[in-house]
Amino acid sequence: MSGAEKITVKVTEVVPLNELVTRFRFERADGGLLPTFSGGAHTVVEMHDGGITRLNPYSLMSDPMDQTAYTISVRRDDEGRGGSLFMHQQVKAGDEMVISFPVNLFSLDLRAKKHLFLAGGIGITPFLAQIKQLQRFNGNWELHYACRSAALGSYADELTDHYPNETHVYYDDEKQTIDLVNLLDGQPLGTHVYVCGPKGMIDWVRKTAAAEGWPREAIHYEEFLAPQPGKPFEVKLAISNKTIEVGENESLLEAMERENVDAPYLCRGGACGQCETRVIDYAGNFIHRDHWLDDAEHAGGEKIMPCVSRFEGKTLVLDR
Amino acid sequence: MTIQFNNESFRDDYSFYNSERAIKRFPFPFHEDSYMYSVNMEQHRGGPVDSVYEMRFDVDEHYVSEMRDRAMVLADDPLRCQSLPHMTLAGWDLLELIMVSKSEDYPDLFELHRDGNKWRWINKPLGIDHSFTFLDEATLPCGPMEYITRQAQGDFAVLDQRDDNLWMDAGMVTTQADWSLDFDIGMNFFEWHAPVPLAHEKGIFVRALKFLMNIQQGAPARRLNWTMTVNPLLDTSPENYHKWGIQKTELTPQNIGAKQHLRVELQTFFRLPRSNALVFPIRCYLCSFQDLMGVPKWGRRLHRVIRDLPEELATYKGFIDNRPMMLDYLKDFDDGLPTSPGIWPELDTEPPLTR
């Protein structure tokens, strides 16, 4: 069996926050309580869009202790394959949907003396749950949140209202930027850094922190990648003894699922490592997009993460 | 189902015993006539009625006496229970998991009444009726992990998950097969498994760690492990080796059937929701050789497994010196007939001993 346990929920609220971001509230369809979770956890939302089934991960942003409802915020991606467009355009209050049990790949290090959160854009969502968790236990935290403009700064106002001392917001259109070197320099020993946002921001924080001498273990990051469209390609699956075609708008993982090949997965965003698959033979180029394999593995041609990565070339044979 | 709790001891006079029912439900760990390490995990979601797999936390006739033995071990050595400061939330997670599971699975024995964070816990076998505030340590007589594991059979290792590894950062360990929480506290998965022979070379631990880190909420897992213990001792700890180690030399052909016990651990794994930690309950079941021999299939199989076990494993499990005497006893219960696959006793279909 693949993926986490499922829960059938009812959409009880759809709230557009701004031009790009809409918030969804889920309650259990049977009226019962949802599982508690830890701040930083995500849920995988199943979408049935015409004949296509998509499973996209979204960070849970509600209070982890609140078992009556989960909330997520979805940023519309007009360039993507349509998962976020489906959420924005098709999902209405009253709809039933299937989501997964919470899975946490971005949990707080509870040993930390202080938690320093760095958010970029929609990357704010996991921190909303972590902040609620820490507030409950008088945790020491500080948030630096960069967004494009005041109009697109989801939750910036309420964070500033509730936690004026801990919250620092930076607007790109006002040329405000996080002074990262200075910020890192001023942190007490035992601080852990968490960054969630676009890839460029994550790389910048990791590199800067490493250059400033921060231990690798004190820097935590999460970026879910949506699978990107690409040229169709053919894959031979050695164990299943099938040759399948991966279409332009589906991922390799989705194509295997369409053909009823039991492929393991968890986050579906290139982060968790669960879907790692051995390459038996290939002639062509990999388009690796995951965060799981390291550079040497990406260059090695022996492994692929089918949830987000693709292939261009003549032959690809996988151990699946 | 009502359980008649035994009044028995796991030390001194060793009055421990298994009823007929307990023998029948003993988790015999060998599914075939040989044994080698494997990551033999399966989902932990119920099992045959009255088997040790049926409930999330099995409660059996030894419950009250085991808890009494745990209290004695802790009185002598408080370091058997430790929780590093960042593990308190995981302790509450564990308390919630056990209280909810037991009150749902054994409503005649345990009750949990919740009104927001005002909780009332009733444990009838141990005579406890306690009201407290969930997540407020001041309302319990000790930390949440210690509180609930003084009321739950088996050892508990509570593992923090970070840096792509699991860390032994809290636990209650009084019924262990010769390992020490005080020694292992703060170690990661590879460090605390370092003494195990053969399994590292086979890549068992790399795969096991990957599996464990991917255990998710709502999808617990389980496996069986085993060793041998002379006398029905729960506390076979390194701390007390000077007390129990010597007893391995007291085995004779006359007393081996009664004294030699197969020790089986039902290991389960649950993701803890609020802390994202992993709890690893290790529940110990003991059964004497003579009681096991009452099940023809187990008699045949145990002889073959012990006979063919690699020397390294017999050494690691601590019975290499006694193996010849064991085999001498066990061979009389192996008539060479084939055994059916699986761990269950199959008393109705397996032929009786033919010699």
- Asked, for residue B245, whether it belongs to a domain, the answer is yes
Q: How confident is the model at residue A83 (pLDDT cuts 50, 70, 90)?
A: confident
CA distance A120 to A128: 13
Lowest mean pLDDT segment, chosen from B100-114, B136-150, B209-223, B330-344:
B209-223
- Does B218 sit within 8 Å of A111, measured CB to CB? no
Mean pLDDT of chain B: 95
Q: Write the DSSP string, A237-293.
A: ETTTTEEEEE-TTS-HHHHHHHTT-----SSSSSSS-TT-EEEEEEEEEEE---SSS
A110 Cβ under 8 Å from any chain B Cβ = yes
- Asked, for residue B348, whether it belongs to a domain, the answer is no
Instruction: Report the b/e string of A208-224 with b at 16+ CB within 10 A.
Output: bbeeeebeeebbbbbbb
Helix (H, G, I), strand (E, B) or coil at B104: helix
Delimit the CATH 3.40.50.80 region(s) of chain A: 114-222
Delimit the CATH 3.10.20.30 region(s) of chain A: 233-318
B162 Cβ under 8 Å from any chain A Cβ = yes
Number of domains in chain B: 1
Does the pLDDT of residue A16 top 90, yes or no? yes
pLDDT tens, position by position, B31-89: 999 998 776 788 899 999 999 999 999 999 999 999 999 999 999 999 999 999 999 99
- Asked, for residue B99, whether it belongs to a domain, the answer is yes
pLDDT tens, position by position, B290-304: 999 999 999 999 999
Q: Does the structural domain A233-318 have CATH classification 3.10.20.30? A: yes
What pLDDT does A50 receive? Answer: 82
Class of domain A114-222: alpha beta
Task: Read off the pLDDT of each residue in A278-289 and give the average, rounded to a whole number.
Answer: 95
Total Cβ atoms within 10 A of residue A25: 18
Q: How confident is the model at residue A292 (pLDDT cuts 50, 70, 90)?
A: confident
Token reading at A291: 């965060």
Residue B175 domain boundaries? 20-43+52-333
Q: How confident is the model at residue A273 (pLDDT cuts 50, 70, 90)?
A: confident
What pLDDT does B39 receive? Answer: 66
- Which residue among the candidates B45, B223, B271, B355 is catalytic per the annotation? B223
CA distance B81 to B174: 8
B247 Cβ under 8 Å from any chain A Cβ = no
Q: Do residues B154 and B282 touch, judged by C-beta distance below 8 A?
A: yes
Q: How confident is the model at residue A1 (pLDDT cuts 50, 70, 90)?
A: very low
- Does B273 sit within 8 Å of A37, measured CB to CB? yes
- Does B86 sit within 8 Å of A111, measured CB to CB? yes
Instruction: Report the b/e string of A101-112 with b at 16+ CB within 10 A.
Output: bbbbbbbbbbbb
What pLDDT does A262 receive? Answer: 87
In a mutagenesis test of the A interface, which of B160, B217, B279 is the best target, namely the one with the most A β-carbons within 10 Å? Answer: B217
The CATH T-level fold of domain A6-104 is: Elongation Factor Tu (Ef-tu); domain 3 (2.40.30)
Q: Do residues A217 and A209 touch, judged by C-beta distance below 8 A?
A: no
What pLDDT does A2 receive? Answer: 63
B31 Cβ under 8 Å from any chain A Cβ = no
Q: How far is A248 from chain B (nearest CA, A)?
A: 30
Does the pLDDT of residue A112 top 60, yes or no? yes
Q: Active site includes B25?
A: no
What pLDDT does A215 receive? Answer: 96
pLDDT tens, position by position, B199-241: 777 778 888 888 899 899 999 999 999 999 999 999 999 999 9
Task: Read off the pLDDT of each residue in B182-199 and give the average, rounded to a whole number.
Answer: 90
